[in-house]
Amino acid sequence: MFLALSLFASAPPVPEARSQETQAGQQKPDIAHAAPRGKKLVLTDGSFHLVRSYERQGERVRFYSVERSAWEEIPASLVDWEATRKEEAAAAGLEAKIEEKKKELRKQRIAEEVDADASLEVAPGVFLPDAPGLFVLEGKTIRSLELVGADIRRDKGRLITQIFVPVPLPTLHRVELPGTRASFRIATAQPEFFIRTPDGHEPEMELIQARVKGAAREIERVNTILSGEKFEDRKVVSVERWKLAKGVFRLTLSQSLDPGEYVLAEIRPDEGMDLGVWEFGVDPPARKAGAPPAAPRKPPAKK
């Protein structure tokens, strides 16, 4: 009974951040770590804090919360250090793969063939860069999207259930990106995308609208049933692919994009969604100076 209560207990409340004056007078940290995009500080109850950096000071751990944008402290005994190190190692491995893929994209060039043109004009006076990558066209401006790595997280609720039920149960995994907003923003609801593949293959691309969950953006759920069969759930926006030249493709949308967070992902045969995705966000259109605010939408009439 004590084990069950400890597993289901919520994480202890986090004290308020110390003032800047108190921070300045603190002792030199025993351990210090930093990460540019946020990482997981795993707790002994299985939950975690998404942090920008953390430092251990004796019996306390001080960290900067990505979710709350503030410095906070908890007892060091609440941290699962082994699980935290494993998370850091996994994140470092994924980051290394992403960097390797970026270098490969920068070094490789599409082989010059009769049906391929490195100076491809995608709009009057606008030319597609000749390097492999994914690009977005807004008006007369073309920009390159950044390739980022997604993270896979197992559903905690089902994990706890499996601890107490001595039979195999279905599992649920979530594919997420850290943070609630992509740094790459566009302001048009009808963008056009272009992709150059490094080896000339024809990619199967999906445009996925992310679901903001807490401090992350969920882009896919994968349910695995007892037979081992997997069911993938993604909020997909329909896109059409047009071949412009060997290894060069144009992606057009069948509908306007609502403001929100999105990714473009390659779906590989027999493998599913590639964890290397291109993220971006769509901002609402800016209101013109002096224009009245939009009228609130009326609720539907009750039948």
| Residue 135 domain-assigned (yes or no) | yes
| Residue 299 domain-assigned (yes or no) | no
Mean pLDDT of 226-243: 79
| Residue 290 domain-assigned (yes or no) | no
The H or E element that residue 20 is part of is helix 20-24
Mean pLDDT for all residues in the chain: 77
Residues 209, 116 share a domain: yes
Residues 6+ apart with CB under 8 A from 263: 150, 177, 207, 208, 210, 219, 277, 278, 279, 280
298: pLDDT strictly greater than 80? no
Say what percent of the chain tops pLDDT 70: 69
pLDDT of residue 95: 83
The H or E element that residue 232 is part of is strand 230-233
What Cα–Cα distance (Å) separates residue 236 from each residue in 31, 187, 210, 252, 264? Answer: 43, 20, 9, 14, 10
Residues 244, 115 share a domain: yes
What is the domain range of residue 147? 108-282
| Residue 90 domain-assigned (yes or no) | no
> pLDDT for 113-150, tens place per residue?
434 455 688 888 889 988 899 999 988 889 999 899 88
C-alpha angle 68/72/74, rounded to 5°? Answer: 130
Mean pLDDT of 204-209: 93
Residues 168, 80 share a domain: no
Residues 72, 128 share a domain: no
Pick the range with the lowest mean pLDDT from 6-15, 90-99, 200-209, 217-226. Answer: 6-15
| Residue 103 domain-assigned (yes or no) | no
24: pLDDT strictly greater than 90? no
Residues 16, 150 share a domain: no
Mean pLDDT of 69-86: 91
> pLDDT for 238-260, tens place per residue?
999 999 988 899 999 988 999 99
Residues 149, 61 share a domain: no
pLDDT of residue 134: 95
37: pLDDT strictly greater than 80? no
Residues 6+ apart with CB under 8 A from 153: 173, 174, 176
Residues 174, 51 share a domain: no
* Stated pTM of the model: 0.53
105: pLDDT strictly greater than 80? no
C-alpha angle 86/95/203, rounded to 5°? Answer: 125
Residues 62, 205 share a domain: no
Per the structure, how many domains does the chain have? 2
Residues 160, 78 share a domain: no
The identity of residue 118, as a single letter, is A
Residue 9 binned pLDDT confidence (cut-offs 50, 70, 90): very low
